[in-house]
């Protein structure tokens, strides 16, 4: 069982969830058994994919071309996870990004849902449950799975650092290498694979027990990277491109990627020192947990 904290950047809202072991239906259709969402705030809309840094996944080990449908359900009182929870008041709180999927044998798919918490003070501190039902619509025998979604609404507002300390949520570990990179006598007017230019691969590694979705972006902001860059040395982010913007990494997995740099062959870029930043972040995670690769470029002269 994995436990982690996630923040929705726009609303500064937090989610805590865990996956009980995947549940197995006939012929091995799999999905998470239970997801716990804690510390949500009234009046907010939560995009599960963005605030969790992972996906709700369904895997098919039944047959090729299996058609599946996912729908939210209000559980009956005898199907609640515990006495602490009550059925969600209204299914309009839940919206699926996509309801139907067709999967090949051995294929999995990610589904996303949105959770809207009404701005009602009477909901503070409440605990609700809704279920996600996954079932086959072109299989001769009944085939379905149910995921319990447990939602706990915060009793009030809490700051990011207070929540981290309260829940001891400092388990997220990942790295982006190289941390620093110097490109000397860099040619202008050519698109260069930096990995080949330096002989050093760029790599993103997940050092946590939980699977995460990471975003890789070219950044011009030096916030949270402990670096001061004069404005005249900040490279144009359009000059640096990445072959991947979103990377899914299993626990303790890593992946190499290729950044390519192209600086125009113009007078104002000759004999210059420019700095570029590659930023890695768990999808929707708090900025303080970002990782940076700092690329310093010294261009050639005439």
Confidence band for 132, pLDDT divided at 50, 70 and 90: very high
What per-residue string of b and e applies to 134-169 under the rule 16 or more CB within 10 Å gives b? Answer: bbbeebeeebebbbbbbbbbbeeebeeeebbeebeb
Global pTM reads 0.57
| Most confident option among 55-69, 82-96, 132-146, 284-298 | 82-96
pLDDT in tens, 81-105: 999 999 999 999 999 988 998 999 9
d(CA 62, CA 101): 14
Region 172-176: what's the mean pLDDT? 87
| Residue 30: other Cβ atoms inside 10 A | 18
pLDDT in tens, 201-214: 999 999 987 778 88
Confidence band for 166, pLDDT divided at 50, 70 and 90: low
**Quick one: which of 69, 198, 77 has its CA closest to 135?**
69
Provide the token pair at 65.
């071309």
Q: Fill in the DSSP letter of residue 243.
A: S
CB 177 within 8 A of CB 203: yes
Domains annotated for the chain, with CATH where assigned, are 4-167 (2.60.40.10), 174-299 (2.60.40.10)
Strand partners, 135: 69, 144
Better pLDDT: 232 or 33: 33
Coil/strand/helix, residue 234: strand
Which are the contacts of 16, defined by CB distance < 8 A and separation ≥ 6? Answer: 3, 4, 5, 6, 36, 37, 38, 39, 167, 169
Tell me what pLDDT residue 67 has.
92
d(CA 210, CA 221): 28
């Amino acid at each position: 069982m994995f436990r982690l904290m996630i923040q929705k950047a726009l609303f500064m809202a937090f989610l805590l969830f865990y996956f009980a072991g995947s549940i197995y239906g006939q012929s091995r259709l799999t999905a998470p058994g239970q997801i716990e969402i804690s510390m949500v705030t009234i009046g907010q809309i939560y995009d599960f994919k963005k605030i969790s840094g992972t996906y709700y996944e369904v895997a098919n080990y039944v047959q090729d071309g299996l058609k599946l449908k996912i729908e939210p359900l209000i559980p009956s009182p005898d199907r609640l996870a515990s006495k602490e929870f009550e059925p969600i008041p209204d299914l309009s709180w839940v919206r699926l990004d996509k309801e139907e999927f067709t999967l090949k044998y051995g294929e999995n798919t990610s589904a996303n849902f949105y959770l809207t918490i009404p701005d009602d003070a009477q909901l503070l501190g409440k605990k609700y449950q809704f279920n996600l039902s996954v079932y086959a619509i072109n299989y001769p025998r009944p085939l379905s799975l149910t995921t319990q979604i447990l939602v706990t609404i915060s009793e009030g507002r809490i700051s990011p650092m207070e929540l981290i300390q309260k829940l001891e949520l400092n388990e997220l570990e990942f790295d982006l290498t190289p941390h620093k990179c110097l490109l000397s006598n860099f040619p202008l007017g050519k698109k260069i694979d930096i990995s080949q230019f330096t002989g050093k691969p760029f790599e993103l590694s997940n050092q946590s027990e939980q699977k995460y979705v990471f975003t890789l972006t070219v950044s011009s902001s030096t916030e949270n990277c402990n670096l001061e860059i004069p404005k005249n040395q900040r490279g144009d982010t359009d000059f640096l491109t990445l072959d991947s913007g979103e990377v899914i990494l299993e626990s303790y997995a890593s992946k190499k990627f290729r950044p390519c740099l192209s600086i125009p062959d113009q007078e104002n870029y000759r004999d210059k020192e420019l700095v570029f930043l590659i930023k890695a972040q768990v999808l929707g995670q708090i900025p303080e947990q970002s990782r940076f690769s700092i690329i310093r470029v010294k261009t050639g002269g005439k």
